[in-house]
Structure 1
Amino acid sequence: MVEETSLQRTECPVARTLEAIGDRWSLMIIRDAFDGIRRFSEFQKSLGVARNILATRLKTLVEVGVFVVQPASDGSAYKEYVLTEKGREVFPVVISLRQWGERFLFQPGEVRSVLLDNASGQPLMPLEVRSSSGEKLEPAQCHRVRCVDGGPLVAD
Protein backbone atom coordinates (compact mmCIF):
# COMPACT_ATOMS: atom_id res chain seq x y z
CA MET A 1 0.00 0.00 0.00
CA VAL A 2 1.31 3.45 -0.92
CA GLU A 3 1.60 5.82 2.02
CA GLU A 4 0.11 9.28 1.40
CA THR A 5 2.43 12.11 2.25
CA SER A 6 1.37 15.56 3.36
CA LEU A 7 2.00 18.40 0.97
CA GLN A 8 1.78 21.07 3.69
CA ARG A 9 5.55 21.73 3.61
CA THR A 10 6.14 21.63 -0.13
CA GLU A 11 7.36 24.76 -1.95
CA CYS A 12 4.62 24.32 -4.57
CA PRO A 13 1.54 26.54 -4.02
CA VAL A 14 -0.60 24.23 -6.20
CA ALA A 15 0.26 21.23 -4.02
CA ARG A 16 -0.48 23.14 -0.80
CA THR A 17 -3.78 24.39 -2.21
CA LEU A 18 -4.81 20.87 -3.17
CA GLU A 19 -3.90 19.68 0.32
CA ALA A 20 -6.16 22.36 1.84
CA ILE A 21 -9.17 22.45 -0.49
CA GLY A 22 -8.48 20.12 -3.41
CA ASP A 23 -10.87 17.24 -2.87
CA ARG A 24 -14.24 17.25 -4.61
CA TRP A 25 -16.36 17.54 -1.47
CA SER A 26 -14.46 20.56 -0.17
CA LEU A 27 -14.82 22.38 -3.48
CA MET A 28 -18.52 21.49 -3.69
CA ILE A 29 -19.06 22.77 -0.12
CA ILE A 30 -17.34 26.03 -1.05
CA ARG A 31 -19.40 26.24 -4.25
CA ASP A 32 -22.59 25.82 -2.20
CA ALA A 33 -21.43 28.51 0.24
CA PHE A 34 -21.15 30.92 -2.72
CA ASP A 35 -24.80 30.05 -3.41
CA GLY A 36 -25.75 31.09 0.13
CA ILE A 37 -25.75 27.77 1.97
CA ARG A 38 -24.50 28.10 5.55
CA ARG A 39 -25.86 25.26 7.69
CA PHE A 40 -24.68 21.68 8.01
CA SER A 41 -28.12 20.27 7.15
CA GLU A 42 -28.37 22.50 4.07
CA PHE A 43 -24.96 21.36 2.80
CA GLN A 44 -25.95 17.74 3.37
CA LYS A 45 -29.28 18.14 1.57
CA SER A 46 -27.69 19.96 -1.38
CA LEU A 47 -24.74 17.60 -1.80
CA GLY A 48 -26.15 14.25 -0.66
CA VAL A 49 -22.86 13.57 1.10
CA ALA A 50 -22.56 11.30 4.15
CA ARG A 51 -22.66 13.18 7.47
CA ASN A 52 -19.21 11.94 8.55
CA ILE A 53 -17.57 13.07 5.30
CA LEU A 54 -19.30 16.45 5.46
CA ALA A 55 -18.31 16.93 9.10
CA THR A 56 -14.68 16.08 8.34
CA ARG A 57 -14.50 18.41 5.33
CA LEU A 58 -16.16 21.30 7.17
CA LYS A 59 -13.80 20.83 10.12
CA THR A 60 -10.80 20.98 7.78
CA LEU A 61 -12.15 24.03 5.96
CA VAL A 62 -12.58 25.80 9.30
CA GLU A 63 -9.05 24.77 10.38
CA VAL A 64 -7.48 26.18 7.18
CA GLY A 65 -9.48 29.40 7.55
CA VAL A 66 -11.91 29.09 4.62
CA PHE A 67 -14.91 29.20 6.99
CA VAL A 68 -15.63 30.46 10.48
CA VAL A 69 -18.41 28.97 12.58
CA GLN A 70 -20.86 31.54 13.90
CA PRO A 71 -24.19 31.45 15.72
CA ALA A 72 -27.11 31.27 13.30
CA SER A 73 -28.15 34.63 11.90
CA ASP A 74 -31.80 33.92 12.75
CA GLY A 75 -31.07 33.62 16.48
CA SER A 76 -31.74 29.87 16.59
CA ALA A 77 -29.47 27.40 18.35
CA TYR A 78 -27.92 26.33 15.04
CA LYS A 79 -24.41 27.21 13.89
CA GLU A 80 -23.56 28.55 10.47
CA TYR A 81 -20.45 28.17 8.32
CA VAL A 82 -19.53 31.60 6.98
CA LEU A 83 -16.91 32.17 4.30
CA THR A 84 -13.92 34.21 5.44
CA GLU A 85 -11.96 36.53 3.16
CA LYS A 86 -9.71 33.53 2.43
CA GLY A 87 -12.80 31.51 1.52
CA ARG A 88 -14.25 34.23 -0.71
CA GLU A 89 -10.90 34.39 -2.54
CA VAL A 90 -11.56 30.83 -3.81
CA PHE A 91 -14.31 32.25 -6.06
CA PRO A 92 -12.11 32.63 -9.19
CA VAL A 93 -10.87 29.04 -8.71
CA VAL A 94 -14.43 27.71 -8.65
CA ILE A 95 -15.35 29.87 -11.66
CA SER A 96 -12.30 28.61 -13.55
CA LEU A 97 -13.27 24.98 -12.86
CA ARG A 98 -16.87 25.75 -13.87
CA GLN A 99 -15.82 27.37 -17.15
CA TRP A 100 -13.46 24.53 -18.02
CA GLY A 101 -16.26 22.04 -17.36
CA GLU A 102 -18.75 24.05 -19.43
CA ARG A 103 -16.33 24.08 -22.33
CA PHE A 104 -15.12 20.49 -22.31
CA LEU A 105 -17.50 18.21 -20.37
CA PHE A 106 -20.91 18.84 -21.94
CA GLN A 107 -22.27 17.72 -25.28
CA PRO A 108 -24.12 20.19 -27.51
CA GLY A 109 -27.74 20.49 -26.35
CA GLU A 110 -27.03 18.96 -22.94
CA VAL A 111 -28.69 20.76 -20.01
CA ARG A 112 -26.34 22.48 -17.56
CA SER A 113 -26.37 25.37 -15.13
CA VAL A 114 -24.99 28.74 -16.17
CA LEU A 115 -23.66 31.43 -13.86
CA LEU A 116 -25.00 34.90 -14.66
CA ASP A 117 -23.88 38.37 -13.62
CA ASN A 118 -26.64 39.78 -11.36
CA ALA A 119 -26.28 43.30 -12.80
CA SER A 120 -26.45 42.44 -16.51
CA GLY A 121 -28.12 39.02 -16.50
CA GLN A 122 -25.38 37.85 -18.88
CA PRO A 123 -22.98 34.90 -18.55
CA LEU A 124 -19.55 35.69 -17.10
CA MET A 125 -16.64 36.39 -19.43
CA PRO A 126 -14.11 33.55 -19.61
CA LEU A 127 -11.29 33.89 -17.09
CA GLU A 128 -7.85 34.38 -18.61
CA VAL A 129 -4.32 34.57 -17.26
CA ARG A 130 -2.86 37.98 -18.01
CA SER A 131 0.62 39.48 -17.77
CA SER A 132 1.29 42.56 -15.67
CA SER A 133 0.84 44.59 -18.88
CA GLY A 134 -2.52 42.95 -19.66
CA GLU A 135 -1.46 40.50 -22.37
CA LYS A 136 -3.11 37.06 -22.40
CA LEU A 137 -0.55 34.40 -21.43
CA GLU A 138 -0.26 30.75 -22.38
CA PRO A 139 1.63 28.20 -20.23
CA ALA A 140 4.79 28.39 -22.37
CA GLN A 141 4.96 32.14 -21.69
CA CYS A 142 5.39 31.68 -17.93
CA HIS A 143 8.05 30.15 -15.69
CA ARG A 144 8.52 29.38 -11.99
CA VAL A 145 11.19 30.64 -9.61
CA ARG A 146 11.74 30.03 -5.91
CA CYS A 147 10.95 33.07 -3.78
CA VAL A 148 10.14 34.41 -0.34
CA ASP A 149 7.11 36.72 0.02
CA GLY A 150 6.80 37.17 -3.75
CA GLY A 151 10.40 38.24 -4.42
CA PRO A 152 12.98 35.94 -6.02
CA LEU A 153 15.53 34.28 -3.75
CA VAL A 154 18.89 35.98 -3.83
CA ALA A 155 22.07 33.98 -3.31
CA ASP A 156 24.15 34.93 -0.26
Structure 2
Amino acid sequence: MSIDTLSEKLANLMTEETNLLNSISDKEEKLQKALRENKWDDMEIIINSLSPLSLKMEKVEAERDKTFNTLKRELNKKEDDGFYAVAMHMNDKNREDCLGGYRRMKIALLKMQGITAGIDQYVRTVGETSRAVLEEVFPHRKGRIYSNRGCEKPVQADPMILNRHL
Protein backbone atom coordinates (compact mmCIF):
# COMPACT_ATOMS: atom_id res chain seq x y z
CA MET A 1 0.00 0.00 0.00
CA SER A 2 1.12 3.52 -0.68
CA ILE A 3 1.74 6.10 2.03
CA ASP A 4 -1.28 8.12 0.87
CA THR A 5 -3.56 5.06 1.00
CA LEU A 6 -2.30 4.12 4.46
CA SER A 7 -2.73 7.72 5.65
CA GLU A 8 -6.33 7.82 4.40
CA LYS A 9 -7.07 4.46 6.01
CA LEU A 10 -5.56 5.68 9.30
CA ALA A 11 -7.70 8.85 9.24
CA ASN A 12 -10.83 6.78 8.55
CA LEU A 13 -10.03 4.35 11.36
CA MET A 14 -9.47 7.23 13.78
CA THR A 15 -12.86 8.68 12.80
CA GLU A 16 -14.49 5.29 13.35
CA GLU A 17 -12.76 4.91 16.70
CA THR A 18 -13.84 8.42 17.73
CA ASN A 19 -17.45 7.58 16.84
CA LEU A 20 -17.24 4.41 18.93
CA LEU A 21 -15.74 6.32 21.86
CA ASN A 22 -18.58 8.83 21.64
CA SER A 23 -21.15 6.00 21.55
CA ILE A 24 -19.57 4.40 24.61
CA SER A 25 -19.53 7.78 26.38
CA ASP A 26 -23.23 8.27 25.64
CA LYS A 27 -24.03 4.83 27.06
CA GLU A 28 -21.87 5.50 30.12
CA GLU A 29 -23.70 8.78 30.75
CA LYS A 30 -26.98 6.84 30.67
CA LEU A 31 -25.44 4.25 32.99
CA GLN A 32 -24.35 7.00 35.38
CA LYS A 33 -27.88 8.44 35.40
CA ALA A 34 -29.47 5.02 35.96
CA LEU A 35 -27.00 4.33 38.76
CA ARG A 36 -27.83 7.57 40.56
CA GLU A 37 -31.56 6.94 40.16
CA ASN A 38 -31.22 3.27 41.26
CA LYS A 39 -32.78 1.99 38.04
CA TRP A 40 -31.25 -1.48 38.20
CA ASP A 41 -33.06 -2.92 35.17
CA ASP A 42 -31.95 0.00 33.01
CA MET A 43 -28.40 -0.45 34.25
CA GLU A 44 -28.38 -4.09 33.21
CA ILE A 45 -29.64 -3.24 29.72
CA ILE A 46 -27.03 -0.51 29.32
CA ILE A 47 -24.19 -2.71 30.56
CA ASN A 48 -25.21 -5.47 28.15
CA SER A 49 -25.30 -2.97 25.27
CA LEU A 50 -21.73 -1.88 26.06
CA SER A 51 -20.25 -5.34 25.40
CA PRO A 52 -20.70 -5.33 21.59
CA LEU A 53 -19.36 -1.77 21.42
CA SER A 54 -16.33 -2.81 23.43
CA LEU A 55 -15.63 -5.75 21.11
CA LYS A 56 -15.96 -3.55 18.04
CA MET A 57 -13.69 -0.98 19.67
CA GLU A 58 -11.01 -3.62 20.22
CA LYS A 59 -11.12 -4.61 16.54
CA VAL A 60 -10.94 -1.04 15.27
CA GLU A 61 -8.13 -0.23 17.72
CA ALA A 62 -6.14 -3.28 16.57
CA GLU A 63 -6.64 -2.34 12.92
CA ARG A 64 -5.65 1.27 13.59
CA ASP A 65 -2.51 0.15 15.41
CA LYS A 66 -1.62 -2.25 12.58
CA THR A 67 -2.15 0.47 9.97
CA PHE A 68 -0.07 2.96 11.95
CA ASN A 69 2.81 0.49 12.34
CA THR A 70 2.68 -0.34 8.62
CA LEU A 71 2.77 3.38 7.83
CA LYS A 72 5.78 3.79 10.14
CA ARG A 73 7.62 0.99 8.34
CA GLU A 74 6.80 2.50 4.93
CA LEU A 75 8.22 5.83 6.10
CA ASN A 76 11.32 4.13 7.59
CA LYS A 77 10.51 5.54 11.02
CA LYS A 78 11.80 4.03 14.26
CA GLU A 79 9.65 1.71 16.34
CA ASP A 80 9.36 4.28 19.14
CA ASP A 81 8.54 7.28 16.91
CA GLY A 82 5.25 8.87 17.91
CA PHE A 83 2.22 9.91 15.91
CA TYR A 84 3.35 13.46 15.17
CA ALA A 85 6.74 12.30 13.86
CA VAL A 86 4.94 10.06 11.39
CA ALA A 87 2.25 12.61 10.47
CA MET A 88 4.85 15.18 9.42
CA HIS A 89 5.77 12.95 6.46
CA MET A 90 2.24 12.75 5.02
CA ASN A 91 0.94 14.97 2.23
CA ASP A 92 -0.87 18.12 3.39
CA LYS A 93 -4.46 16.88 3.06
CA ASN A 94 -3.81 13.51 4.70
CA ARG A 95 -1.75 15.12 7.45
CA GLU A 96 -4.57 17.54 8.30
CA ASP A 97 -7.13 14.72 8.24
CA CYS A 98 -4.97 12.53 10.49
CA LEU A 99 -4.04 15.32 12.90
CA GLY A 100 -7.68 16.41 13.21
CA GLY A 101 -8.78 12.81 13.67
CA TYR A 102 -6.12 12.26 16.30
CA ARG A 103 -7.18 15.35 18.27
CA ARG A 104 -10.88 14.42 18.09
CA MET A 105 -10.07 10.87 19.17
CA LYS A 106 -8.04 12.08 22.17
CA ILE A 107 -10.84 14.46 23.22
CA ALA A 108 -13.42 11.65 22.95
CA LEU A 109 -11.14 9.39 25.00
CA LEU A 110 -10.69 12.04 27.71
CA LYS A 111 -14.46 12.55 27.86
CA MET A 112 -15.01 8.81 28.27
CA GLN A 113 -12.31 8.57 30.95
CA GLY A 114 -13.96 11.42 32.87
CA ILE A 115 -17.35 9.74 32.82
CA THR A 116 -15.84 6.40 33.84
CA ALA A 117 -13.94 8.06 36.70
CA GLY A 118 -17.18 9.71 37.86
CA ILE A 119 -19.00 6.36 37.90
CA ASP A 120 -16.11 4.75 39.75
CA GLN A 121 -15.99 7.50 42.37
CA TYR A 122 -19.76 7.36 42.90
CA VAL A 123 -19.76 3.58 43.33
CA ARG A 124 -16.80 3.69 45.73
CA THR A 125 -18.40 6.45 47.81
CA VAL A 126 -21.75 4.66 48.04
CA GLY A 127 -20.00 1.40 48.94
CA GLU A 128 -17.88 3.03 51.64
CA THR A 129 -20.91 4.86 53.05
CA SER A 130 -22.98 1.67 53.13
CA ARG A 131 -20.15 -0.21 54.81
CA ALA A 132 -19.75 2.53 57.43
CA VAL A 133 -23.50 2.55 58.15
CA LEU A 134 -23.58 -1.24 58.50
CA GLU A 135 -20.58 -1.19 60.85
CA GLU A 136 -22.40 1.32 63.08
CA VAL A 137 -25.66 -0.62 63.00
CA PHE A 138 -23.93 -3.99 63.56
CA PRO A 139 -20.79 -3.24 65.61
CA HIS A 140 -20.18 -6.96 66.27
CA ARG A 141 -19.46 -7.35 62.55
CA LYS A 142 -16.95 -4.53 62.52
CA GLY A 143 -13.40 -5.35 61.46
CA ARG A 144 -11.99 -8.81 60.84
CA ILE A 145 -12.27 -11.89 63.01
CA TYR A 146 -9.44 -14.44 63.07
CA SER A 147 -9.40 -18.14 63.99
CA ASN A 148 -7.01 -19.77 66.50
CA ARG A 149 -4.65 -20.47 63.58
CA GLY A 150 -4.55 -16.81 62.51
CA CYS A 151 -6.70 -17.20 59.41
CA GLU A 152 -9.46 -14.73 58.67
CA LYS A 153 -12.81 -16.17 59.70
CA PRO A 154 -16.20 -15.02 58.44
CA VAL A 155 -18.45 -13.40 61.02
CA GLN A 156 -21.33 -15.64 62.06
CA ALA A 157 -24.54 -13.68 61.76
CA ASP A 158 -28.07 -13.89 60.49
CA PRO A 159 -28.64 -13.12 56.83
CA MET A 160 -29.63 -9.56 56.08
CA ILE A 161 -31.70 -8.06 53.27
CA LEU A 162 -30.85 -4.55 52.18
CA ASN A 163 -33.27 -2.14 50.60
CA ARG A 164 -32.14 -1.30 47.07
CA HIS A 165 -32.49 2.39 47.90
CA LEU A 166 -29.70 2.31 50.50
Q: Give the TM-score category using the shorter length.
A: under 0.3
Structure having the higher helix fraction is: 2
Q: TM-score, normalised by structure 2?
A: 0.24
Structure having the higher strand fraction is: 1
Q: TM-score, normalised by structure 1?
A: 0.25
Bigger relative contact order (CA 8 A; separation at least 6)? 2
